A and B are shown apart, each in its own frame.
Chain A
Amino acid sequence: MTGKEIIVSVERRKVLKAFAGAGALAGVQALFPAWAQTGSRGVAPTLATLSGPDIALTVGHSPFSVGGRTGHAITVNGTLPAPLIRLREGQHARLSVTNTLDEDTSIHWHGVLLPFQMDGVPGVSFPGIRPGETFAYDFHVRQSGTYWYHSHSGLQEAMGHFGPLIIDPAGADSVAYDREHVIVLSDWSFLHPHEILRRLKASPGSFNRQRTTIAGLLSGEDRMSASERRMWAQMRMDPRDISDVTGSTYTYLVNGHGPQENWTGLFAPGERVRLRIINASAMTNFNVRIPGLPMRVVQADGENVRPVEVDEFQIAVAETYDVIVTPRDDRAYTIVSEAVDRSGLGRATLAPRLGMSAEIPPLRQVPNLTMRDMGMDMGAMNMGAMDHGAGGMDHGSMDHGAMNMRDPTLAPPNMAVGVGVQSISPMPENRLAERPLGLENEPHRVLVYTDLVALNPNRDTRPPSRTLEIHLTGNMERYMWGFDGRRFSEIVEPIRFERNERVRVTLVNDTMMQHPIHLHGHFFELVNGHAGNQPLKHTVNVAPGGRLSFDLTADAPGDWAFHCHMMMHMHSGMFNVVTVRPLDEAAS
């Protein structure tokens, strides 16, 4: 931290002390963009957002305060989250980004269809924005929906360089609502992301304070028998390795507000309120629910879906979901964004008036991974539903050597089965119809990927002309991640598509962790049983030990990034370039 920043933070603290009460609130409020201020009446085209044909953005250092502490953030126009950018389908957008950092920066427009050279990935789409320089992004807006934008340089995104992007449809919106709020979820640490990664490399369990213990065994709180523990230990796998970075260092934010700061969005009872929920976290998948208020999911990743009513959904890093809620009572509701490993939660409030709050539900039990999360089909082995305590089968005595957890013959022929591959799922399953990790037994409706049906029919109805299998691989003990056993740094072949080629891509998760995989420049259709109306996604969360397929029409010529959106996984190598050829000949 530079001297200048320390001074700023001390002044902030003085301000907070001197004006405890309404004055302080106003002072703090000024640090957030209007839509992210607590007590927001909601976003509307009339509100102070950045819109129009010419938008200027400045990337710089800012102090950021949460929970009474101040740290160093990298921000756009000085706020965390960055300003809401509101565009309209059919317009021409010109976004000038000025870099006041002493390092390169960039902005990637996440989920936006545009020419590859405007996609904002240094080293793929453009050189990056040097210190002191301004880069003008210039593109025609040809879609609508809820998106976001963030840095694609180093680990700046983990330090606050992200913001929401709404594109209004050219015509009438097929989603009806009376009021809308943007809900940007994120994870904030006072540790520098490089230090977080260093600790993970040095000791992968560094941030995990919810591992199995002897106390948990004796009290039964771990919900795992001694023989099961022995089995996990034999495999050198941690059944509590849900999230690499946890609430032990993260404060989970909603629109830049910590749980105590209780960001509040206002409504009038009876209104249909559209919540545009964006997971802009570096490393955290969230379970989102609003106790007492069912949510009608109307959009996923900016694409409209047939409305489906749920009580809870899991949102992976980089996904977006739009939901409609209709609070009818004159009361407050808590928006709970619980980290999937239950090590903490983000909290916000929907209320008719400022100053109201509702009960915050306690954190639920940390989930235990199962053998299915290692890609072992326990249904086939008839062990999934067994009572582990009283069951006749002794897991400890099971010969897992017999079931090879790292059988290279199960890998595609070009996969490198080396140090970076800890395991290869022996029986990866399609888990799209399953509830996401940890929500299996919730006594209410939980969104699953097979619930998503595109509102509009898929445009490309050709059957795929070929298939392509990509394995998501890793070694948790060394904290190495990659595709097909290779880190991007090992100089890998790009993934090549012919322009307008239609390919069925299958992702196989050989690891025990969730991987939200993002493809730039395209939407892919999730093959989830709704042929003809397969939901379009830019990011899909591949369940541990699972497999899934998407159909891709490679209609965007150029080079595009393809990566896990867990920042530390990407930075450790789970990244590649997708090329689509031939290019437009008219290139300058």
Chain B
Amino acid sequence: MRVFATALAPILLTISPAAAQDHSAHTQTPPILAAPAEADPHAGHSMQMPSDVAPPTAAGDGSANAADLYFDPAVMAGAREQLRVENGEVITHAIILDRLEATSGNGAERYAWDAQGWYGGDINRFWWKSEGEGAFDGDLEHAELQLLYSRAVTPYFDLQGGVRQTYRPEGDRTDLVLGVQGLAPYWFEVDGALFVSNEGELTARAQAEYDLRLTQRLILQPRAEVTLSAQEIPEFAIGAGLSNVLAGARLRYEITRGFAPYVGVEWSGAVGDTRNLVRANGDAPEATRVVLGVRALF
């Protein structure tokens, strides 16, 4: 094929005024001449054209930026930077109020929240997370805020590091956080982190949730969470090993994508040594609660 084309090329060039720039000139061009055909569309690479070769050196001649020849190069430099930023460097934000709910079970009316948000680009983001709970007729029992630097490290996962401040009536903690958040196969949203507190305690928490779309607007979200501790923390009635397990399901109705009320049920329980410590405190080691809340995106 190439031999044929090479042999024919000079002939073609003499017949056809190939360099003609005038786009309108082709009304009177010569009759159809066979250029190397790609009969088989898959044959793109079978043609004997050099592939993956660098462009000819003349392609690098002259001014790096052609427009600098016509416009003030300093002004063009500013315009180029704006173009760069506008085509890829999108800085934006999100606030996800995943759960804001009232719960009822074991004879207590309680409330809980779980929210997070981020600000930044595709790769680097400032990420915050907050969750907490308490009894409507009692004290706030637990509240935490994480401030994290989040970096996209794989197509689906972010590596996150930062600090967490936790409030509990029994005592506050400040932790260093190292975590992973992202999307696992089968669309499971997962989030796991290690925490090292200012008291030297090492704990970990992992959670996973899944959106099962019953219809376009009615979505069942199963969710599970486990917490672990490397040591006993008597102050918080936490034993070493797997300490707490939580499993629930929430059924939400998306009035809009950004606003969805839900109902659900959730079981939480202390396990292992933690169960004994909780019992020893006179508290119930497990509870099943009905939840009523709202999910919102901003």
Q: Point out the residue from B61, B82, B86 that lies within 8 Å of A582, measured CB to CB.
A: B61
B22 to A498, Cβ gap below 8 A?
Answer: no
A529 to B41, Cβ gap below 8 A?
Answer: yes
Q: Measured between C-beta atoms, what is the minimum distance from B12 to chain A in Å? A: 4
Q: Which residues of B contact A489 (CB under 8 A)?
A: 84-85, 87-89
Given the contacts A116-B67, A214-B214, A463-B2, A549 and B55 also touching, CB distance less than 8 Å = no
B interface, how many residues as a size bin?
35 or more
Bound-state Cα–Cα, A170 to B42, Å: 40
> Which A179-233 residues have a C-beta within 8 angstroms of B?
197-199, 201-203, 206-207, 209-215, 230, 233
Does B280 sit within 8 A of A, measured CB to CB? no
Q: Measured between C-beta atoms, what is the minimum distance from B57 to chain A in Å? A: 8
Does A297 sit within 8 A of B, measured CB to CB? no
Does B38 sit within 8 A of A, measured CB to CB? yes
Given the contacts A127-B75, A419-B154, A583 and B42 also touching, CB distance less than 8 Å = no
Q: Which residues of A contact B72 (CB under 8 A)?
A: 127
Does A89 sit within 8 A of B, measured CB to CB? yes
Does B106 sit within 8 A of A, measured CB to CB? no
Bound-state Cα–Cα, A430 to B61, Å: 35
A559 to B87, Cβ gap below 8 A?
Answer: no
A212 to B213, Cβ gap below 8 A?
Answer: yes
Q: Measured between C-beta atoms, what is the minimum distance from B38 to chain A in Å? A: 5
Q: Which residues of A contact B85 (CB under 8 A)?
A: 489
Given the contacts A433-B41, A482-B88, A531-B38, A214 and B29 also touching, CB distance less than 8 Å = no
Q: Point out the residue from A234, A467, A571 that lies within 8 Å of B86, measured CB to CB.
A: A571
Q: Point out the residue from B52, B76, B87 that lies within 8 Å of A571, measured CB to CB.
A: B87
Does B281 sit within 8 A of A, measured CB to CB? no
Number of A-B contacts (CB under 8 A): 278
B24 to A581, Cβ gap below 8 A?
Answer: no
Bound-state Cα–Cα, A215 to B217, Å: 11
Given the contacts A466-B50, A488-B84, A430 and B42 also touching, CB distance less than 8 Å = yes
Interface 9-mer from A350-358, A382-390, A473-481: A473-481
A457 to B33, Cβ gap below 8 A?
Answer: yes
Residues of A with Cβ closer than 8 Å to B? 89-90, 113, 116-117, 121-128, 142-144, 154, 169-171, 174, 197-199, 201-203, 206-207, 209-215, 230, 233-236, 406, 412-413, 419-422, 429-430, 432-433, 456-469, 475, 477-480, 482, 487-491, 496-501, 504, 506, 523, 527, 529, 531-533, 547, 549, 555, 557-559, 563, 570-575, 579-583, 587-588
27 contacts between A and B (CB under 8 A): A116-B66, A117-B70, A126-B67, A169-B24, A170-B24, A199-B257, A202-B94, A202-B96, A211-B213, A211-B216, A419-B155, A422-B155, A429-B42, A457-B26, A460-B16, A461-B35, A462-B13, A463-B5, A466-B55, A467-B44, A477-B155, A487-B122, A488-B84, A489-B89, A533-B32, A555-B21, A557-B66
